[in-house]
A and B are shown apart, each in its own frame.
Chain A
């Protein structure tokens, strides 16, 4: 008993070794899902953020902007930020996905294909869709704040040269806003990486799932959970480093 408290007895590295392939595939799944969801979430977040800011000169068009763009965007953001991600994942997996992919009467796909998809990729689809939708809500607010933080004079100067609103946004406002958004976007990416572990609850074979499998097989907990903790930690450190690198690169024209 006393000997087992010593490091080598206490920490059975052989378990990690035995399940090395599982940890490795889990790591790739975690990284893959995170990268895909960051990219999709950023695109969707930009769209929702712009929708939240949409206005028009014309009174009728402005009313249309309010009811068809601003309000839906506000409700979307409010829902995804105001409910637990874990609950969103369960809702997605057991209620929403079966609605769209259903052997009997799927809204999107029916028949055998729907059954096979749910069997083989159900958890992956759930994970990617819920993490994308959730992070898009946070990212859209980052975009909105970033755009609104740029001095009005920048848009006016661009418009006074004859640039359309869209071109002024693209060439003048967004590049400056993007620079300011990098730190919060980095924080969001790190949160997304860590939150991806929640999808293990519906059976996606990522890092946390690998750890749970090992823990279940051996009834040992330090080894698997400490191992994935270190892996998550290294990943978040790498992400933070990458964001700092981007900040330096896009910081041209900053006070120096």
Chain B
């Protein structure tokens, strides 16, 4: 197991190299010169030249890439063209907001997704099943930016129940302890801030979880139906085990492998920044920041953010594989099965 994990972690290196080459080429070869954008209306040829020189954009793409890679190995992702702050600092200040949203959304999606999936499977072809299937179809098909805007119009614009965006009322923001807004509210005993943060969390978390919820519902249903046809389930029933136990111990548990994979993948992509959700709800995470940086041609930040996203994705996948071994004792990581 330990060996397997180390092997998988080593695999990160080629993955990240590949990813870094691709983004580097996209930003430095296929994108227009950032100098006029960064320097603005009064950019002159000389000032742009000086700026390119200062930001190492004058050498060949290959030498620029090697410089960049050297920096990455030293833990230096470069500085933002605009704020001059190290990219790592820029990203880490926004990452907690993304994690908070992703965690809440994935919990919502997993709990309700599995519940609805189980009901659909158990009551196959009933009205409950049809409802679940329609819900999952709608959830998968609905574009999140549309859903987000509709939610804002209904819950903020018309009903005035919820704030339309942001993470917390700026005047209620707690002192930063962990960087995680909800945790900081709890630690500092800021109940007004906590309530306000939860209010702000409702719509983005619901919108973001919708797609994952739909997928989890479908996978749970299919997987459950599959398991229910297995011989061991028939055997369990034949032994006289109660239906509840059959479902929870024999069907549900063995159906969970693909579900866990999907939850993991969804969580991974949410951590990479829910670009659309964050933007629509003015959520101050990585996703909305990436959009902003693409618009402003802030190359170092784009590169750093993509590397971060790729790393998270690989790590979450690894975590999913490890969880497998607990769910299904037959799987031994790193060993060929006979």
* Chain A complexes with chain B: no
Residues of A within 8 A of B (CB): none
Residues of B within 8 A of A (CB): none
